[in-house]
Amino acid sequence: MVTGQKLMREIRVFEFGGPEVLKLQSDIAVPIPKDHQVLIKVHACGINPVETYIRSGTYSRKPLLPYTPGSDVAGIVEAVGDNVSTFKKGDRVFTTSTISEGYAEYALADDHTVYTLPGKLDLKQGAAIGIPYFTAYRALLHSAHVKAGESVLVHGASGGVGLAACQIARAYGLKVLGTAGTEEGQNTVLQNGAHEVFNHREPNYIEKIKKSVGEKGIDVIIEMLANVNLSNDLNLLSYGGRVIVVGSRGPIEINPRDTMAKESSIIGVALYSSTKEEFRQFAAALQAGMEIGWLKPVIGSQYSLEKVAQAHKNIIHNSGTSGKMILLLE
């Protein structure tokens, strides 16, 4: 080992599998930023469901082993590469992607994926912005092409992406309906932009939504669990309505006829299909939301690096979660 080399702790995955393959290592060299790279001392890192799919080896994108999970970090700039002019040591920042990944004490990121974190938000909230808010923005504005005055149902609204979708939709002038599975979740949804909330654990909640929206139906549905809800979604839509599939954990049978009379659409969303220019557009809109005050991430469960396996179990199996799950590094 090189004498004087700074070391850090991080999570490494050496084989695909269950949460137990997440291994804590304490002798990893802190990376050195080159060119357009920024080194961030990580305060917190968002935990996203997609990271559990990648870890299990079932996702379409498979990293080379070994790898470290995590993309949404928030922290303080430690050092910058020679060609970085936008950031300096000591800046508070958050990321939408990292090179060295985020479940670690230090993370390396390209400068175009690093953003200034306004003083109104703390570093925990900074770790809750990346995937949730950029996905929600892409789903609503880029994929659904929502217009002020339309109605939107956020199906599964109490998690990170769901709450982000409620806040964005309300700020853009939509009528916002949300669902959640617990009383706490429902209250959180109402406090973050929804005009109405429904309990998706009640057997008749779909009827309650139909009664609320009347014959016209719902213009846009942001769907977090399409393998359970897609068939119901198609029946809730208005003429020309759109279901935007943000999450699905398996297959579902639908009747394609349900799309015909209403000329409705089912559209999938993958954040990382966004171009650099689209990321810039999304970031500009979201930065405005932070400055004005409508973008306010809600933090849920918090875990240390030692408890990351438990976090990966809980994000999939603990339904009714309220707020954004994060790893705390200090």
DSSP 104: B
Hey, what amino acid is at 202?
Answer: E
Average pLDDT over residues 270-277: 95
Which CATH number describes the domain made up of 132-272? 3.40.50.720
Q: Which residue has the higher pLDDT, 189 or 100?
A: 189
pLDDT at 60: 86
The pLDDT, as a whole number, for residue 260 is 97
Looking at residue 1, its pLDDT comes to 45
Average pLDDT (282-300) is: 97
Q: Is the separation of the CB atoms in 10 and 68 below 8 Å?
A: yes
Same fold for the pair 7-128+298-328 and 132-272: no
Residue 135 near residue 246, CB atoms below 8 Å:
yes
- Across all residues in the chain, what is the average pLDDT? 96
Provide the pLDDT for residue 265.
98
pLDDT at 51 over 70: yes
Rounded Cα gap, residues 64 and 86, in angstroms: 31
Q: Is the pLDDT of residue 184 over 90?
A: yes
- Residue 177 confidence (pLDDT) above 80: yes
Residue 224 pLDDT exceeds 50: yes
Pick the CATH number of 7-128+298-328 from 3.90.1150.170, 3.30.1050.10, 3.40.470.10, 3.90.180.10: 3.90.180.10
Percentage, residues of the chain above pLDDT 70: 98
**Residues facing residue 131 across a β-bridge:** none
DSSP helix, strand, coil percent of the chain (3-state; round to 5): 35, 30, 40
Q: Is 186:208 a contact under the CB 8 Å cutoff? A: no
pLDDT at 320: 67
DSSP state of 105: S
**Angle of helix 130-137 versus helix 276-292 axis, rounded to 10:** 100
Model pLDDT, residue 124: 98
Give me the mean pLDDT over the 237-265 stretch.
97
Domain edges within the chain: 7-128+298-328, 132-272
What span, in angstroms and rounded, lies between the C-alpha atoms of 294 and 136?
Answer: 14
Considering the chain, what percentage of its residues have pLDDT values greater than 90? 94
- Report which of 280, 304, 323 is spatially closest to residue 142, judged by C-alpha positions: 280
DSSP 277-322: HHHHHHHHHHHHHHHHT---PPEEEEE-GGGHHHHHHHHHH-TT--
pLDDT band at 145 (very low <50, low <70, confident <90, very high): very high
